[in-house]
A and B are shown apart, each in its own frame.
Chain A
Amino acid sequence: MPFKIPFMPEQASSMAGEVDALTLYLVAMASFFTVLVAAMVIYFAIRYRRRSPDEVGGSFDNSALLEITWTVIPVLIVLFTFVWGARVAFRLYRPPADAVQYYVTGKQWMWKTQHPTGQREINELHVPLGQPVKLLMTSEDVIHSFFVPAFRVKADVLPGRYTSLWFTPTKTGRFHLFCAEYCGAEHSRMIGWVTVMEPEEYQAWLASVPTQGSPTAAGERLFAQLACHTCHQDAAGAKGPALGGLYGRPVALADGRTVLADESYLRESILNPAAKVVAGYEAVMPSFQGQVSEEGILELINYVKSLPAGGSASVAAASEGAL
């Protein structure tokens, strides 16, 4: 927008302008109806004010034409509003294919973030200008909500599942990050900053932050440490299904259902393995609830995602063989 509209927060993402355009339409629509009704009421109230104590009103008290008019026109307007709003929302919900995934864990009362390259931050998130960013988020305790007004994005962050949101920053600077879902005593201090940097600056910043390696590498260490490989291996007769090439593929379950192996499925299978048992396997895996942190689970998932399809011993093949 060429001029600054008062009371609008800064527009710093690719979607901010679209949301603001929708807002301006809504304000214009509402103003039109408010002024129309206010003018009608004020005019009638003055024009037909009571002039003698005994006066009564007229008998014109219904009109099908008027009723149809003031039913049909609002119906058309709200349907138009709905369509516009839904179009904006679908874009807000669906990240572009080239979005880079970052990780967010909420807990009372801080935001923990992690870069795809492994750098961790607290109550801060640095991202490069112009790069579509997708956040994969979960909570360690209660429900939180990740909200950056300048980007016009918000999504609740829930315990026990992953939610996500995305944005493409279009302006460098520091932008408020708030928790928008009430989460207890220090809710209003569960705030931070998203810093948008020029890509070169961002690379320099990344290099300056010590890291223990990428989440994938960390996940690999954790995988070994928890001895996952004793069961999950590419061998006939293994107790657990092999994990190579698993991510993003449909998995046949013992109860006949098929589920997509996404982040939520992988997470559930680590914490509550009995919930969805792969066809051809026994429910022998213990739960890792309480043994792995939310960050650890994300790292494990990252590692599993990185595993290449392992040929004949892949999950799908194994389950087909068992059937």
Chain B
Amino acid sequence: MSRTGTAETNYLNAQHGLKSWLLTLDHKRIGLLYLMGVSFFFLLGGIFALLIRLELLTPQGDLVQPDTYNRLFSMHGIMMVFFFLIPAIPGVLGNFLIPIMIGTRDVAFPRLNLASWYIFMAGGSITLLGVLAGGVDTGWTFYPPYSSLYSATNVLTVGIGVFVNGFSSILTGLNFMVTIHRMRAPGMTWFRLPLFVWGHYATSFINVLGTPVIAITLLLLVLERAFHLGIFDATKGGDPVLFQHLFWFYSHPAVYIMILPSMAVISELIAAFTRKRVFGYHFVAFSSIGIAVLGFLVWGHHMFVSGQSVYAGTAFSLLTMLVAIPSAIKVFNWSFTLYQGSVSFDTPMLYALGFIGLFMIGGLTGVFLGTLGFDIHVHDTYFVVAHFHYVMVGGTIMGYLGGLHYWWPKITGRIYPEFWGRMSAMLVFVGFNLTFFPQFLLGYMGMPRRYHAYPEEWQVLNVLSTAGASVLGLGFLLPLGYLLWSLKYGKLAGKNPWGAKGLEWTTDSPPPTENFRDAPVVSEEAYDYAGAGHGDGGAPAPARAH
């Protein structure tokens, strides 16, 4: 800790000009490029969501035409899933943090990393072109034969956009895997890795193994639509259900692509704001791998009413039950980390606690839906919509926002205003529950999803949901304001404003381009708050070689 003075150069001011950003090979700058990309797509997806909720305020379907409504929910799903939820945490936080957390200069393949961002933006731009040309109305699931033969919208453009974007996930996954295997600092053994890294390691495997399948599937769909090959066309001997198998073989694991990085963030937040090692470190680490593996074996639970045999349904139901176990293990371990901890309630921790609550409900309702006899009734209803929003918004976005606040001082060197941070965390939690809890009830009462108009008896719950969505929207907009404000007016953060453990808190904020001024050597376990060598109560840095 010899250089305690203000660091003259860091990754932000080392170079200037647009070109220095667009051609950067620095994983931290690439993380910020992703931040801009995913924020844009999140905003766009959010506007679509807002219009959906406004339409559903009244049962008659009187705000927009049915055609428009169908495009709104389709584009909402496509933008949010493929261009926000999947890339957000790995692209922004994973890129920024993985090399620093394992004590190295950059990812294994910096050029490939930049290429990933360009591919992501290219895929996003092609999709956006499809949106501007009138959008797509197939839902994010693209089921044929509707998508291949009947839809009169821009299925080809959007399909190609999503197809291209997939390569970004594959290459980022590959990059992270190699980086984590080959680039760890001396002394950074596998079981000294922060759980953030374990979570991203598991996610990378799913990205590399699963994404090619959606790529092939979308390619087949594009060919089917353009050239009428007949793969999914029953009148030509094809099978529309085959598409569903292929689609969910990726898209169920994709749920874990979205949630595992968020769980990875939560482990860091819980450790930092209890100043305690995450309870059952090995179990939390291996549960990520368990989720990644089991996640590939459960796709058929999306097809319980699709005409698949009852025996296949039974097998998928059993396997779905098993994938709940590693998630349960994580929740219990996080909760128990608080025991004998030193718990503080800063914004990131509020997001983490909110995550536990919402993910509990999302995960448990996943068990509901895995239960064969229950799913038949609620399949394709708002119960499912509520469930996956609890997992993806309640899970992924809570983790993303919590992580963004936690590492904001490291990324920017500035502290965001704590009061407004806590306000936003509360608004998001309350608004979220108000938006999506009524949808569980609507679903059980029978309201099908993707309905532009609905019977009048369901209006009250829909009004509650729309009211919640406006609170939620406000909760999401607040950080946009105060985080930008803090770039200029926030207090200087210093190296370790939270008194947290981890290599990222031993270097400057913002870090220098090469991440560490002295190459770190690791000699202690992750989250060693109570360990030997600790005593100054503040921010004991991992021992370094000099």
Contacts and interface: CB of A to CB of B under 8 A. Distances in A.
B275 to A, nearest CB: 4
A40 B380 contact: no
B340 A48 contact: yes
A182 B377 CA distance: 16
B325 A56 contact: no
List the 10 closest pairs (A to B, CB-CB), nearest first: A160-B234, A149-B446, A88-B373, A57-B276, A54-B537, A85-B371, A58-B340, A89-B372, A44-B338, A78-B321
A208 interface: no
Interface residues of B, number: 96
Given A57-B274, A66-B336, A71-B329, A26 B145 contact: no
Nearest to B501: A56
A226 B344 CA distance: 80
Contacts of A155: 305, 307
B67 interface: yes
B209 interface: no
Interface string B310-338: 10011001100110110011011101111
B341 interface: yes
A51 B381 CA distance: 47
Given A9-B444, A78-B321, A160 B280 contact: no
A176 B457 CA distance: 12
A74 B150 contact: no
B450 A142 contact: no
B448 interface: yes
A78 to B, nearest CB: 4
Nearest to B326: A71
Interface in B162-207: none
B342 interface: yes
A155 B329 CA distance: 34
Interface stretch (B360-368, B395-403, B414-422): B360-368
A94 B341 CA distance: 54
Given A19-B374, A61-B281, A70-B328, A34 B338 contact: no
A184 B146 contact: yes
Contacts of B436: none
12 contacts: A9-B446, A22-B373, A23-B374, A51-B342, A57-B340, A57-B341, A61-B277, A85-B372, A86-B314, A147-B380, A158-B306, A181-B143
Contacts of B356: 37, 41
A185 interface: yes
Contacts of B381: 147, 180
A182 B146 contact: yes
B492 interface: no
Interface in B245-293: 274-283
Contacts, number: 289
A142 B66 contact: no
A26 B368 contact: yes
Contacts of B339: 44, 48, 58, 60
B454 interface: yes
Interface residues of A, number: 89
B380 A181 contact: yes
Contact of B145 (A74, A143, A275): A143
B373 A160 contact: no
A272 B237 contact: yes
Given A7-B441, A63-B279, A143-B240, 20 more contacts: A18-B373, A23-B444, A26-B374, A34-B360, A37-B331, A41-B357, A48-B274, A55-B342, A59-B277, A61-B278, A61-B281, A70-B332, A81-B371, A82-B317, A88-B373, A89-B310, A89-B376, A143-B146, A158-B241, A184-B70
Contacts of B342: 48, 50-51, 55-57
A229 interface: no
B150 A184 contact: yes
B445 A149 contact: yes
B22 interface: no
A186 B371 CA distance: 31
B307 A161 contact: yes
Contact of B343 (A44, A59, A61, A180): A44
Contacts of A163: 307
Contacts of A50: 275, 342-344
A188 B376 contact: no
B234 A161 contact: yes
A91 to B, nearest CB: 8
A108 B145 contact: no
B325 A71 contact: yes
A82 B321 contact: yes
Contacts of B340: 48, 57-58, 60
A283 to B, nearest CB: 14
B23 to A, nearest CB: 43
A187 interface: yes
A92 interface: yes
Contacts of A59: 277, 530-531
Given A38-B357, A71-B325, A156 B235 contact: no
A289 B338 CA distance: 66
B529 interface: yes
